[in-house]
Structure 1
Amino acid sequence: MSTARPLEGLGVVITRPLPLAESVAAELAAAGARPIVFPTLEIHPVQSDPALDAALALLPRADLAIFVSANAVERGMEAVRARGGWPKGVPVAAVGEFTARALRNSGFKEVISPAERFDSEALLGLPALQAVDGRNIIIFRGQGGRERLKEGLEARGARVTYAECYRRERPKADPKPLLEAWGRGEVDVIGVLSAETLENFVEMIGPEGRAKLAATALVVPHEAIAAHPDAKRFGRVILSPPGAEGLSKALAQYRTKR
């Protein structure tokens, strides 16, 4: 196996929403993998929502804006630009490497983000989020989701408002091409980012696909996803370090040891 193409021949199913899935697929293909894009989430913008309008009206007076995902950056910045643009002097923070990268690509030079363990708990552990008593913080996210970040900040005295700028839906995709590739032995690893994408994947592939999981590996970025009941259907669960580099490293290690 060439060190320049450490994923040579590895079939990896990418379940992230478009277009992020295509970006990851291109990176993995450059390392020699055979990526299969099979999104198990669709992201739709929130239209004409009074709660979102109210949250964005507070943005100029916010002490910090937190984005929980790259989708939150994309949809949140669309909503902000439609209302006149980002207010000067409001700093931003990110949960996850992809989120921080999306913010930098949107023009933010400084992004508060943990260097390791890219989750809400790691962000809450940063010095910049300790002394927040009386601070106004806006969290850009999709409708619903975990409450850990908001609860942690409110416990420290912050006033937290959600800017819910997108909604998630399970796609109505035909799994037949994926199942056919699986039957030809072209699927080695399934990659998921969240419990929701895992649950959707298991549902979308149907009984035929679920019968193949015991002979397939699952790669996830967090212990909580690895402990999910649906993860136990797989023959092996691989915990990936954060970010795109972490995913490639985990896949390369699996490729050499399988």
Structure 2
Amino acid sequence: MTEKETLSRQRLAGQWILVTRPAEQAEGLSQLIEAEGGQVLRFPAVEIGDPKEPFAVEEVIRRLEGFHWAVFVSVNAVKRGLSWVLSRREVPADLKIAVVGQATAQALAAFGLHPHLCPTSGYNSEALLAMDELQHMKGKRVVIFRGSGGRELLAGTLAKRGAQIEYAEVYRRSLPPPSVAANLRQALAHRPLDVVITTSKAVLENLCYLVGEPLLEKLRLTPLVVIGSRQAQQAKELGFTQIWVAQEPSDTALVQAIIEHEDKL
């Protein structure tokens, strides 16, 4: 294949795209963009760190055999949570595992485990709560692996259905250091972005805070790729005017959302 033919097949050639995922999760998405000819500005708008209360996590892990269900609400929850668990003990054989989507299930598979419950569409807490197996939860004990300060919908709904809920908050989210944000502002001041990708509400909130005015005003006019209706609504409320929703929370779907709208770039 000639260089000209290669360029013609790169559907994001010349596009400068901001990837805001945490550093440990950004590389796969960045490589897909680059394979399509796009240029990536990597800026982890959220840093993932150790939990605030490690002893509380240890105590829950020690009692894992007392739970009927373990629910993992994100890829980070799987990676951080199972690293904690498997460094200390085995996963109880009769513990049922539920995840919110395919990416979380794939993260689970990397540990040699497979979920008993995973939505086939929706890929969020709402989709998981709609599944038949979680409708009648009286007397069931559920541990939810998550980051600190996550949504309360899952726990609240399961509790209303009769479940006893505990959290294993196995990581915490934080802002990147000021020097990193300064580098981002400097880059944006010299060249406008073509597309911004955010994959959670926390990421978008942090990005807006870190960019600040007057660059934020320009950012709001830049096409923004998000996952799901909740993030799309948040982006609208924050003043973004071009919001593209990926069909599912996967790297491929995020890139495809850009390609499908490339005529608007």
Question: Is contact 1:10–1:255 with CA below 8 Å preserved after alignment?
Answer: no
Instruction: State whether structure 2 residue 240 is matched by structure 1 residue 226.
Output: no
Q: Which amino acid aligns with 1:200?
A: N
The aligned runs of 1:1-258 (5 Å cut-off) are 4-46=9-51, 49-172=54-177, 173-183=179-189, 185=191, 187-228=193-234, 232-244=238-250, 245-258=252-265
Q: In 2 relative to 1, CA 131–239 (structure 1 residues): closer, same or farther, beyond 3 Å?
A: same
Superposition RMSD in Å: 2.3
Question: Is contact 2:52–2:172 with CA below 8 Å preserved after alignment?
Answer: no
Q: Which amino acid aligns with 1:137?
A: V
Q: Which blocks of at least 5 consecutive residues in structure 1 are unaligned?
A: none
Aligned partners of 2:133, 2:193: CA distance in 1, in Å?
Answer: 43
Could you report, residue by residue, the CA deviation over 1:66-110 in whole angstroms, capped at 9, with x for unpaired residues? Answer: 111111111101210232232223221112332221111121134
Could you report, residue by residue, the CA deviation over 1:11-64 in whole angstroms, capped at 9, with x for unpaired residues? Answer: 221111121012221122223322221011111112663322232122122211
Question: Is contact 1:202–1:230 with CA below 8 Å preserved after alignment?
Answer: no
Aligned partners of 1:252, 1:13: CA distance in 2, in Å?
Answer: 15
Q: What TM-score, normalized to structure 2?
A: 0.88
Identify which range, 137-146 or 202-211, moves more after superposition: 202-211
Could you report, residue by residue, the CA deviation over 1:180-236 in whole angstroms, capped at 9, with x for unpaired residues? Answer: 543454621111122211111011112242131243111111222222267543231
Could you report, residue by residue, the CA deviation over 1:154-195 in whole angstroms, capped at 9, with x for unpaired residues? Answer: 111111111111111111143454445434546211111222
Q: Which amino acid aligns with 1:85?
A: E
Q: Which amino acid aligns with 1:198?
A: L
Q: Which blocks of at least 5 consecutive residues in structure 2 are unaligned?
A: 1-5
1:2 is displaced (CA, Å) by: 7.1
Identity over the aligned pairs, expressed in percent? 33
Pairs aligned (count): 258
1:114 is displaced (CA, Å) by: 1.0
Q: Which amino acid aligns with 2:226?
A: V
Q: In 2 relative to 1, CA 136–213 (structure 1 residues): closer, same or farther, beyond 3 Å?
A: same
Aligned partners of 1:9, 1:210: CA distance in 2, in Å?
Answer: 23
Q: What TM-score, normalized to structure 1?
A: 0.90
| Secondary structure in structure 2 of the residue aligned to 1:167 | strand
Aligned partners of 2:175, 2:17: CA distance in 1, in Å?
Answer: 20
Aligned partners of 1:242, 1:213: CA distance in 2, in Å?
Answer: 24
Q: Which amino acid aligns with 1:122?
A: A
Question: Is contact 2:189–2:215 with CA below 8 Å preserved after alignment?
Answer: no
